[in-house]
Protein backbone atom coordinates (compact mmCIF):
# COMPACT_ATOMS: atom_id res chain seq x y z
CA UNK A 1 0.00 0.00 0.00
CA UNK A 2 1.86 3.07 -1.26
CA UNK A 3 -0.16 5.41 0.96
CA UNK A 4 1.43 3.89 4.07
CA UNK A 5 4.94 4.31 2.68
CA UNK A 6 4.17 7.90 1.64
CA UNK A 7 2.86 8.69 5.13
CA UNK A 8 6.02 7.24 6.65
CA UNK A 9 8.02 9.55 4.36
CA UNK A 10 6.22 12.79 5.26
CA UNK A 11 6.89 14.88 8.33
CA UNK A 12 6.03 18.39 9.51
CA UNK A 13 8.74 20.25 7.63
CA UNK A 14 10.41 22.98 9.65
CA UNK A 15 12.68 24.54 7.02
CA UNK A 16 11.91 24.94 3.33
CA UNK A 17 14.14 25.42 0.31
CA UNK A 18 13.02 28.85 -0.88
CA UNK A 19 14.45 28.22 -4.36
CA UNK A 20 12.11 25.30 -5.12
CA UNK A 21 8.52 25.82 -6.23
CA UNK A 22 5.64 23.38 -6.54
CA UNK A 23 4.63 22.90 -10.18
CA UNK A 24 1.24 24.25 -11.23
CA UNK A 25 0.20 20.78 -12.35
CA UNK A 26 0.96 19.33 -8.92
CA UNK A 27 -0.82 22.20 -7.20
CA UNK A 28 -3.93 21.44 -9.25
CA UNK A 29 -3.80 17.81 -8.08
CA UNK A 30 -3.64 18.96 -4.46
CA UNK A 31 -6.57 21.29 -5.06
CA UNK A 32 -8.58 18.44 -6.56
CA UNK A 33 -7.79 16.23 -3.57
CA UNK A 34 -9.13 19.00 -1.32
CA UNK A 35 -12.19 19.37 -3.54
CA UNK A 36 -12.92 15.63 -3.21
CA UNK A 37 -12.78 15.67 0.59
CA UNK A 38 -15.65 14.33 2.60
CA UNK A 39 -17.83 16.93 4.32
CA UNK A 40 -21.01 16.91 6.38
CA UNK A 41 -24.05 16.67 4.09
CA UNK A 42 -21.61 17.35 1.22
CA UNK A 43 -22.02 21.09 1.85
CA UNK A 44 -18.30 21.96 1.85
CA UNK A 45 -18.80 24.94 4.14
CA UNK A 46 -15.24 26.15 3.76
CA UNK A 47 -12.99 28.06 1.39
CA UNK A 48 -9.25 27.67 0.82
CA UNK A 49 -7.10 30.73 0.20
CA UNK A 50 -3.87 30.29 -1.76
CA UNK A 51 -1.74 33.17 -0.50
CA UNK A 52 0.47 34.16 -3.44
CA UNK A 53 1.10 37.76 -2.35
CA UNK A 54 4.52 37.90 -0.65
CA UNK A 55 3.74 41.05 1.32
CA UNK A 56 0.63 39.43 2.79
CA UNK A 57 2.65 36.37 3.76
CA UNK A 58 5.13 38.68 5.51
CA UNK A 59 2.24 40.20 7.46
CA UNK A 60 0.95 36.75 8.40
CA UNK A 61 4.32 35.57 9.71
CA UNK A 62 4.32 37.53 13.01
CA UNK A 63 0.70 36.43 13.48
CA UNK A 64 2.01 32.86 13.14
CA UNK A 65 4.53 33.02 15.97
CA UNK A 66 7.30 33.84 13.47
CA UNK A 67 7.26 30.40 11.86
CA UNK A 68 9.47 30.41 8.75
CA UNK A 69 7.29 28.12 6.56
CA UNK A 70 4.74 30.96 6.35
CA UNK A 71 7.09 32.91 4.08
CA UNK A 72 9.62 30.30 2.90
CA UNK A 73 7.42 27.49 1.61
CA UNK A 74 6.45 27.42 -2.04
CA UNK A 75 2.74 27.86 -1.26
CA UNK A 76 0.62 28.77 1.73
CA UNK A 77 -2.96 27.54 1.95
CA UNK A 78 -5.32 28.99 4.55
CA UNK A 79 -8.40 26.87 5.21
CA UNK A 80 -11.33 29.07 6.22
CA UNK A 81 -14.69 27.99 7.58
CA UNK A 82 -17.99 29.81 7.18
CA UNK A 83 -18.90 31.15 10.60
CA UNK A 84 -22.64 31.06 10.02
CA UNK A 85 -24.70 28.75 7.86
CA UNK A 86 -27.19 30.53 5.64
CA UNK A 87 -30.09 28.88 3.87
CA UNK A 88 -28.44 30.09 0.65
CA UNK A 89 -25.54 27.70 1.29
CA UNK A 90 -27.96 24.80 1.33
CA UNK A 91 -29.97 26.06 -1.64
CA UNK A 92 -26.79 26.51 -3.69
CA UNK A 93 -25.72 22.96 -2.84
CA UNK A 94 -29.11 21.52 -3.80
CA UNK A 95 -29.10 23.38 -7.12
CA UNK A 96 -25.63 22.01 -7.86
CA UNK A 97 -26.66 18.50 -6.83
CA UNK A 98 -29.72 18.64 -9.08
CA UNK A 99 -27.62 19.87 -12.01
CA UNK A 100 -24.82 17.31 -11.61
CA UNK A 101 -27.04 14.30 -10.90
CA UNK A 102 -29.82 15.22 -13.32
CA UNK A 103 -32.48 15.57 -10.64
CA UNK A 104 -35.49 17.81 -10.25
CA UNK A 105 -34.90 20.42 -7.56
CA UNK A 106 -38.36 19.59 -6.17
CA UNK A 107 -37.18 16.05 -5.48
CA UNK A 108 -34.58 17.43 -3.07
CA UNK A 109 -36.93 19.65 -1.05
CA UNK A 110 -37.28 17.15 1.79
CA UNK A 111 -33.52 16.80 2.13
CA UNK A 112 -33.10 20.56 2.04
CA UNK A 113 -35.76 21.11 4.69
CA UNK A 114 -34.11 18.50 6.89
CA UNK A 115 -30.71 20.20 6.66
CA UNK A 116 -32.19 23.63 7.32
CA UNK A 117 -34.03 22.37 10.39
CA UNK A 118 -30.83 20.84 11.77
CA UNK A 119 -28.94 24.10 11.25
CA UNK A 120 -31.59 26.02 13.16
CA UNK A 121 -31.02 23.74 16.16
CA UNK A 122 -27.42 24.95 16.47
CA UNK A 123 -26.19 28.16 18.08
CA UNK A 124 -23.80 30.45 16.19
CA UNK A 125 -20.87 29.08 18.19
CA UNK A 126 -21.92 25.51 17.45
CA UNK A 127 -22.19 26.28 13.74
CA UNK A 128 -18.74 27.86 13.66
CA UNK A 129 -17.22 24.95 15.59
CA UNK A 130 -18.87 22.43 13.27
CA UNK A 131 -17.79 24.12 10.04
CA UNK A 132 -14.26 24.54 11.40
CA UNK A 133 -14.04 20.78 11.88
CA UNK A 134 -14.86 20.30 8.21
CA UNK A 135 -11.65 22.07 7.23
CA UNK A 136 -9.61 19.37 8.95
CA UNK A 137 -11.11 16.69 6.72
CA UNK A 138 -9.96 18.71 3.72
CA UNK A 139 -6.58 19.35 5.33
CA UNK A 140 -6.00 15.59 5.70
CA UNK A 141 -6.60 15.09 1.98
CA UNK A 142 -4.14 17.88 1.20
CA UNK A 143 -1.44 16.32 3.39
CA UNK A 144 -1.98 12.87 1.87
CA UNK A 145 -1.89 14.26 -1.68
CA UNK A 146 1.34 16.10 -0.93
CA UNK A 147 2.90 12.93 0.46
CA UNK A 148 1.97 10.99 -2.68
CA UNK A 149 3.51 13.71 -4.84
CA UNK A 150 6.61 13.80 -2.61
CA UNK A 151 5.87 17.41 -1.74
CA UNK A 152 6.63 18.47 1.82
CA UNK A 153 3.96 19.97 4.02
CA UNK A 154 3.48 21.61 7.40
CA UNK A 155 0.03 21.81 9.00
CA UNK A 156 -0.07 24.90 11.20
CA UNK A 157 -2.47 25.63 14.03
CA UNK A 158 -0.09 28.02 15.76
CA UNK A 159 -1.45 31.36 14.58
CA UNK A 160 -3.59 34.21 15.89
CA UNK A 161 -6.96 33.78 14.27
CA UNK A 162 -8.17 37.33 14.85
CA UNK A 163 -5.11 38.78 13.14
CA UNK A 164 -5.44 36.39 10.21
CA UNK A 165 -9.09 37.32 9.85
CA UNK A 166 -8.17 41.01 9.86
CA UNK A 167 -5.22 40.76 7.44
CA UNK A 168 -7.17 38.61 4.97
CA UNK A 169 -10.46 40.50 5.33
CA UNK A 170 -12.33 37.36 6.32
CA UNK A 171 -14.88 38.74 8.78
CA UNK A 172 -16.77 40.68 6.15
CA UNK A 173 -16.94 37.53 4.03
CA UNK A 174 -18.46 35.48 6.84
CA UNK A 175 -15.28 33.41 7.10
CA UNK A 176 -12.67 32.65 9.75
CA UNK A 177 -9.18 31.18 9.41
CA UNK A 178 -9.30 27.65 10.76
CA UNK A 179 -6.03 25.90 9.90
CA UNK A 180 -3.04 26.59 7.65
CA UNK A 181 -0.77 24.35 5.59
CA UNK A 182 2.55 25.29 4.01
CA UNK A 183 3.72 23.17 1.08
CA UNK A 184 6.99 23.00 -0.80
CA UNK A 185 10.30 21.19 -0.56
CA UNK A 186 12.45 20.59 2.50
CA UNK A 187 15.72 22.38 2.96
CA UNK A 188 18.88 20.31 3.31
CA UNK A 189 19.42 22.26 6.54
CA UNK A 190 16.22 20.93 8.12
CA UNK A 191 17.63 18.60 10.77
CA UNK A 192 14.21 17.20 11.70
CA UNK A 193 13.86 15.39 8.36
CA UNK A 194 16.05 12.51 9.57
CA UNK A 195 14.34 12.04 12.92
CA UNK A 196 12.45 8.77 13.43
CA UNK A 197 8.68 9.15 13.34
CA UNK A 198 7.17 8.85 16.81
CA UNK A 199 3.71 7.30 16.96
CA UNK A 200 1.85 5.30 19.59
CA UNK A 201 1.91 1.52 18.96
CA UNK A 202 -1.22 0.13 17.29
CA UNK A 203 -1.97 -1.93 20.40
CA UNK A 204 -2.11 1.26 22.46
CA UNK A 205 -3.93 3.43 19.91
CA UNK A 206 -6.67 0.91 19.13
CA UNK A 207 -8.98 -0.97 21.46
CA UNK A 208 -11.48 -3.65 20.56
CA UNK A 209 -14.79 -3.58 22.38
d(Cα 20, Cα 137) in Å, to the nearest integer? 27
Contacts of 28 (CB under 8 A, 6+ apart): none
Give residue limits of the domains in the chain: 2-85+125-205, 86-121
Residue pair 181/139 in contact (Cβ under 8 Å)? The answer is yes
d(Cα 184, Cα 29) in Å, to the nearest integer? 14
C-alpha to C-alpha distances, 108 to 86, 93, 162, 178, nearest whole angstrom: 17, 10, 38, 31
C-alpha to C-alpha distances, 57 to 36, 62, 109, 110, 112, nearest whole angstrom: 27, 9, 43, 44, 39
State the pLDDT at residue 9.
97
Average pLDDT score over residue span 141-153: 98
State the pLDDT at residue 1.
81
The hierarchical CATH code for the domain 2-85+125-205 is 3.40.109.10
- Convert the pLDDT of each residue in 40-73 to its tens digit: 999 999 999 999 999 999 999 999 999 999 999 9
Is this structure's pTM higher than 0.85?
yes
- Convert the pLDDT of each residue in 153-186 to its tens digit: 999 999 999 999 999 999 999 999 999 999 999 9
Amino acid sequence: MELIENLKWRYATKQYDISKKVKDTDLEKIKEAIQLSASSYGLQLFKVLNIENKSIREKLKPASWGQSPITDASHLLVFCNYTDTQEKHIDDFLNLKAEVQGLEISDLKGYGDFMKSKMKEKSSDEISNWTSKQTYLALANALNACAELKIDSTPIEGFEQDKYNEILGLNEKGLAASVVVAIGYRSNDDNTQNAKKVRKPLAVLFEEI
